[in-house]
A and B are shown apart, each in its own frame.
Chain A
Amino acid sequence: MLSMKDFGTPAANTWCPGCGNFAILMTVKQALVGLGLRREEVVAVTGIGCHGKFTDYINVNGIHTIHGRVLPAATAVKLANHDLTVIGFAGDGDAFNIGLGHLAHAARRNVDMTYVIHDNLIYGLTTGQTSPTSKKGFVTKTSPRGSFETGVNPLTQALTGDASFVARTFAGEPQHMTEVLKKAIGHTGFALVDVLQPCVTFNRVNTYQFYKERVYKLEDEGHDAGDFDAAYHKALEWGDRIPIGVFYREQRPPYHTSFPALKDGPLVGQPLKPDVEKLLDELR
């Protein structure tokens, strides 16, 4: 059995003190330990942004990709070796600006992976521009008069995209996070977890205090995660009360089970030399 320490790396951490990313890193490690996963069987896929340092800080396999492209890379990692546990990490800019186009496709394909959104409603690494999840009226360097664009709702995006697992958690509730992450990683199919992750440097509105005053747990209110309509309804709630927990979950065959080439096991283990003679015969 591995411990939290085994999932740590010697790379020096450069996140701001108090950053919500620390809680994500810790709870992901806890979830992996809790699920009894070996380091070699896990692949972390990251995009660009503060969250992108994740691959430096977690001691599993990793591919740090480019901005917005976590999902296609992660999809292919899973197809190439479906014995691996694949976890994608993306910031709100990564996931809902430049990479939004991939979300519906990973979701409808039901790629068997977890997609953790480090959602701080701001651009951090590029020093404080407005994010797609920033709320209307939010003032940043690129929205000096307050953002006049409606913020993207990660949960409704995932739900309408046909994700088979949709959850939200909060970096200020580590225990809740670990439990949600364990469920998401354990889910067979595409699992999106939107993590409310305060940016202590650039976002002075959506702070730990802001969320602490508002979040409540769906499980405390008897929410039925099998009910899509209820999940959608809850996903729209954002104001004095902000729900966290598993909004929606359904069982659907994951993407890789439909590929004839994967019937005999992971692609990566298959012998390379196919018989092209039969293919040539068609052309004779």
Chain B
Amino acid sequence: MKCSGLLDDTVSIIIGGEAGQGISRSGMLLGKALMRAGFHCFGEIDYPSLIRGGHNFYRVRASSREVHSPTPHTDLLVALNEETVSIHLDSVNEGGGIIVDEKGFDPGETGRDDVAFYPVPMTEIVKELEGPEIMRNTVALGAVAALIGLSLDTLKEGVAETFEGRPRIVETNVEALQRGWEHVSEHDYGFQCTVEPGTRPDRIWLTGNEAVALGALAAGCRFYSAYPMTPASPVLHYMFAHDAESGVAVVQTESEISAILMAVGASYSGVRSMTSTSGGGFCLMTEGLSLAAMTETPLVVMLAQRPGPSTGLATYSGQGDLLFAVYGAHGEFQRVVLAPGDVDQCFHMTAEAFNLAERFQIPVIVLTDKNVVESHKTTEPFDASRVEIDRGKLVTEWSGDDEYGRYRITEDGVSPRATPGTLNALVLANSNEHVERGFSTSDSELTRMMVDKRFRKTPRIREAVEALEPIRVYGAEDPDITLVGWGSTKGPALEAIGMLENEGVKARYVQVAVVEPFPDGLPQYLKGKTILVENNRASPLGTLIKLNTGYGFEHVALRYDGRAFTPHEIRDRVLEVA
């Protein structure tokens, strides 16, 4: 098993075209086939917010080692329209190739004689097969397989799974793959970027959204309510697609306000519940978040960031909502904000979010961004047996010897939580300040007691958070440079560290994986010169670090155009500072 890219041990392929040309599906299929051929892959989708037209592309990067992010360099470009060539031509490596549709494209005008064009009669083949135009992408995939040496069977298998239950479509697509493959195989192009497939590994290929959904289901999430909003909608799709087998009730609500209120209502009733959204939706949710806090109702919210303010770049990525996630909503209350940086963390942190929410009867936010939730990555299959379910002080019966009070004053601030329907227990949750039984109060002494009760949870929440390895360190033991970031910057930062190592620069990446409560001990990991890496303009993580530790960063690497960092730009920034 070996990957020989034109620049390094990774192969990078872009499939580009208009929205509606099946770009995302082709990329997903190609990545899955490469995984099954033994490789580690990363896949990134880039698309504007529209349904037809515009420019979409999917970037797959594969290697025999783990890959954490895409690179800006392309070995092979698949252009489903002419515009794709002009947009991505500069990114194509010397010796790279461009697969184009024979029909309507004249490669003579590009000015890159170091790049080979491989015309494939995609339109013609599709016509002959009497397939829809969108099937050109399948022909192209066949051509890709032939060029780089990927077995066609793996792709055929993927196509058969994708269109399972629709034999006619499977048949034409398999034929389309075959024809694309044959067309390229007829020529001896001598393309230098190749893969040598190995045995199929036990690995999975999934997005952060899928990992979040799986983490929730593994943790026993039984109620999911959400309003569609990019980039979080795929969690809703996943839940609907798997509701029967997973026993989860799923509601597409009329608004994000409804989504969070439903999650609160179901949780009050004793069911593990969750909602997901992006920044705009989270704005609408903040009153409900505060309700969850006051009523001490466990709640899990996944907030997938995109650039704002307002509608911003609806289908791109950003990290501008950090302080909003940590501080958003009125009143003083305890919360936990987890910030996973890859698919594995999405799975395990989401699962753990349910335990934290129930143990402390507080809202827990899983803070992600488009780059982590909509990108695909290969990883080892999640070990669901590692997911422990801790429902805290949930009680399923009450003797009735003493009256049940939802807000009983306890030493650790957490009250026994009965749910409606429990014999001898009447459960009154109240958004007003309340007494132990749940009735409203405006009494000064009782108010102070109840506020103190809620805040007595603090040390144990902190303890629980410290057990989650809230600060994760990757790279050099004794670095010259320490990069500090959170969320999806982890991927390109790890790639950059690898590149720097080759250049003799020792660097590490420190991931702040829990941002609230802010973990102890960050400064001890800051060795050498430090650079703060964030996908935003105002470096809110820097603000949090300053606030919590007093540490101020001298150097920053900020990207706020909606796109992920490339490993190269992080490397270059490090070399500038070093």
Contacts and interface: CB of A to CB of B under 8 A. Distances in A.
Given A64-B431, A81-B420, A267-B249, A72 B389 contact: no
Given A72-B253, A72-B257, A268-B271, A276 B265 contact: no
Nearest to B381: A280
Contact of B222 (A84, A102, A272): A272
Interface residues on A, range: 35 or more
B261 to A, nearest CB: 4
A262 B248 CA distance: 8
B15 interface: no
B436 to A, nearest CB: 13
B94 to A, nearest CB: 36
Given A72-B253, A260-B244, A276-B382, A40 B426 contact: yes
Interface stretch (B144-152, B197-205, B542-550): B197-205
A283 B242 CA distance: 13
A80 to B, nearest CB: 3
Interface stretch (A51-59, A135-143, A212-220): A51-59
A102 B258 contact: yes
Interface string A52-81: 010110011111111001011111110111
Interface stretch (B4-12, B119-127, B131-139, B213-221): B213-221
B421 A284 contact: no
Interface in B376-408: 381-382, 384, 389
A284 B378 CA distance: 9
Nearest to B258: A72
A259 B249 CA distance: 6
A268 B381 contact: no
A274 B204 CA distance: 19
A75 B262 contact: yes
B426 A73 contact: no
Contacts of A56: 430, 439-440
A11 B446 CA distance: 15
A43 interface: yes
A83 to B, nearest CB: 6
Nearest to B253: A72
Interface string A27-59: 000000000000111010100100001011001
A101 interface: yes
Contacts, number: 198
Contacts of B389: 272-273
A56 B441 CA distance: 10
A85 to B, nearest CB: 10
A280 B347 CA distance: 12
Interface string A73-103: 1111101110110000000000000000110
A9 interface: yes
B269 interface: yes
**Among A53, A63, A105: residue with most chain B CB under 10 A:** A63
A276 B250 CA distance: 17
A88 to B, nearest CB: 11
B444 to A, nearest CB: 17
Interface string B241-275: 01111111111011101110111111111111100
A277 interface: yes
B246 A273 contact: no
B174 interface: no
**Among B291, B295, B384, B439: residue with most chain A CB under 10 A:** B439
**Among A65, A75, A81: residue with most chain B CB under 10 A:** A65
Contacts of A43: 269, 420
A13 B430 CA distance: 16
Interface in B405-443: 419-432, 438-440
B336 to A, nearest CB: 20
A182 B83 CA distance: 67
25 contacts: A11-B440, A40-B423, A48-B431, A55-B430, A61-B421, A69-B291, A72-B259, A72-B261, A73-B261, A76-B223, A76-B262, A76-B263, A76-B264, A79-B251, A80-B266, A81-B270, A83-B421, A105-B253, A261-B250, A264-B247, A267-B222, A274-B220, A279-B214, A279-B242, A284-B205
Interface of A: 9-11, 39-41, 43, 45, 48, 53, 55-56, 59-66, 69, 71-77, 79-81, 83-84, 101-102, 105, 259-262, 264, 267-268, 270, 272-274, 276-280, 283-284
The 5 A-B residue pairs whose C-beta atoms are closest, nearest first, are: A272-B220, A76-B265, A80-B269, A72-B261, A61-B420
Given A72-B225, A73-B264, 12 more contacts: A11-B440, A39-B426, A61-B420, A63-B265, A69-B291, A72-B258, A84-B269, A261-B248, A274-B246, A279-B217, A279-B245, A283-B204
Interface of B: 202-206, 210, 214, 217-220, 222-223, 225, 242-251, 253-255, 257-259, 261-273, 287-288, 290-291, 295, 381-382, 384, 389, 419-432, 438-440
